[in-house]
Structure 1
């Protein structure tokens, strides 16, 4: 009898999970019915309200993972990697961790806070300031291609490895929002639709994506960062998993060794099993995943609570301090522990990026944020039809 009740409880739960996901999807379609005839009429502000739940509720796993593969894919463009290797911003063990964490924070500020918020304006202005330091060495088309990767890679990942494909209105929302970011970064010639962006990116890659030693240096530094926390005997397996996550055509351009076929099948199989489990076994997420960190009400500084590789801007709690003193190593499970060397007092958006630019850029960044705010109040690129003049 107990087995019967258990089977009945499981059946009811599975039915409930299926029903709630069906109702959730129905509600989404109904909510955006007015945009269905032409979703490109949505404003960047509307796009943000559609995009944010994808990032925090619907597909946080695939969104986070796809941004990492997008960065790796960007390293197959020698015109970009040659600059990265010459500045040593990515190829030294000490620099690669901070750059990776800063990149994640920039994306978080732009997507979670929105580009019209005070934090988003400052973060985007700081990105623009950093890019301006390299002048014409950062090409307009290279920037558009990186933008395309941040649009197209998450869409590809979600459609292939998530519990449901994206709705067309969601796909367009991702594009509209990132296109506005591109205009506020001063990019010119940005395609006007997501299909045009895909065609543009394919054409750009045909002429600009090829093997170079600078690609290898950037990819190797990043892959090493991914597997750094693993025990030595597991790093080979970790490298194989990372290789399996990279598109087959891109691997040789990065100097990444081709993984065994069985590794690719296992990785893709696990991702497929995860998608099935989320679709069939899990209830819809009621609460979004934590994004950003804790904001100090007095100073405005953000202390992060989670990190990927190195604890930059993570607050140093009392128990971590004890653990650090007890171990004497400053490491836990292969990862460094928070501390002053990782700026544990937190960050302001205008301080992100290389430490040597922290004070040097502050006045210019804050001034640009004010100007960009006025640009946004006039409607931004979506209304004005021209890039932000201070973006480059």
Structure 2
């Protein structure tokens, strides 16, 4: 009897052991063969990524505002060097596309001022299709030299001096200068406010005005309002008197439009023309330029394109790791060559290399001697024949250096007037 109990007990233990072993084996097999939960992984990664976007998107502007916290109550106390640092956050890091786009349209809208366009037609630099492309590229390069570059180094001073030399040959109303400056300040802000992934802060807007006031002083004109509100009010009043249609306005604007159309097939010219007009949202400006109202579909396309773009950047794209660097680089021969990624219409001053030709394969024009692929010096920029101004430009650049060393307009008390 006891023997049977012992046997039964042993059998029971063996049975229990076998059951546990079998159970563990089944569980192991289940773990090994269970399907991997990809939806959960994808959801987790997506949420983590979108959270990271939200955390990093505004980090740069928050850091800038902490750095200049003492100026937040009155950003007009900034000096132009501080203003340049703040402005470059918008220009090269957060909003390079719409900042550049708005600056380009500021120039186009300036053609509605009837006191300025007759001179542009007379010089034929914009009205002549053969020279309009170079004129547009040179304008972009010159502005880039002191917006992207350093206005106080040698190349920045030479670019500013060449710009002054070209302007002083003609009689231009001071009000026209101030109006163009107002457009360069306010137009990018308008586009960014309406369509970018975040609006500009008041610190950024005011810094832009502070820096452009310095540019205006070095171009030799005053009368620039002190605040953004005063500048906008001044612009409105000036346009009531000077913004109206004359044939010269249409000629210059049409020449600019033709540069855009060069890059598109002929069957798309009507489509592109309507999009071009839709970018000019103010009816009084369209009337002054000689353009009709755009069709509703063109306005719908452009408006929604920019809005969707801003939404996607804000919520789905990480901020760029480094600011853009579009400033042309100096070669071994001391001449400057442009990056093909940053040309507007024609490859002026782009080195003729296989890589640059590959980047520009969609463009009708390719780098070569006809586009001065040997590069440029700041004092050489501008219409053909103005290279003779080299000595005068260098002399003015030296005088500007002394002007800055004396404290500029802040200390001297008047704009730079050398050679005017």
TM surpasses 0.5: yes
Q: Which has the larger radius of gyration?
A: 2
Match of 2:401 in 1: 373
168-177 vs 22-31, which moves further = 22-31
Q: Is the 8 A contact 1:184 1:391 kept in 2?
A: no
> Superposed, which structure 2 residues align to 1:201-350 within 5 Å?
201-249=235-283, 250-306=285-341, 307-318=343-354, 332-350=361-379
How far is the alpha carbon of 1:377 from its aligned partner? 1.4
How far is the alpha carbon of 1:78 from its aligned partner? 1.4
> Superposed, which structure 2 residues align to 1:94-109 within 5 Å?
94-109=130-145
Which residues of structure 2 form unaligned runs of 5+?
Answer: 1-36
Q: Secondary structure at the match of 1:355?
A: coil
Q: Is the 8 A contact 2:349 2:372 kept in 1?
A: yes
Highest relative contact order (Cα 8 Å, sep 6+), 1 or 2?
A: 1
Which residues of structure 1 form unaligned runs of 5+?
Answer: 325-331
Match of 1:351 in 2: 380
Aligned residues: 382
How far is the alpha carbon of 1:248 from its aligned partner? 2.9
Q: TM-score, normalised by structure 2?
A: 0.87
Q: Is the 8 A contact 2:263 2:364 kept in 1?
A: yes
* CA shift in 2, pair 1:176/1:337, >3 Å: same
Match of 2:100 in 1: 64
RMSD over aligned Cα atoms: 1.8
1:57-106 Cα offsets, whole Å, 9 max, x none, are 11100111111111110000111111001111101111110011011111
Match of 1:327 in 2: none
In 1, Cα distance between equivalents of 2:358 and 2:78 = 51
How far is the alpha carbon of 1:167 from its aligned partner? 1.2
Q: Secondary structure at the match of 1:146?
A: helix
Match of 1:328 in 2: none
Q: Is the 8 A contact 1:125 1:368 kept in 2?
A: yes
1:213-232 Cα offsets, whole Å, 9 max, x none, are 10000110101111211111
Q: Secondary structure at the match of 2:329?
A: strand
* CA shift in 2, pair 1:357/1:23, >3 Å: closer
In 2, Cα distance between equivalents of 1:53 and 1:391 = 34
In 2, Cα distance between equivalents of 1:369 and 1:8 = 59
* Selected match of 2:50 from 11, 14, 17: 14
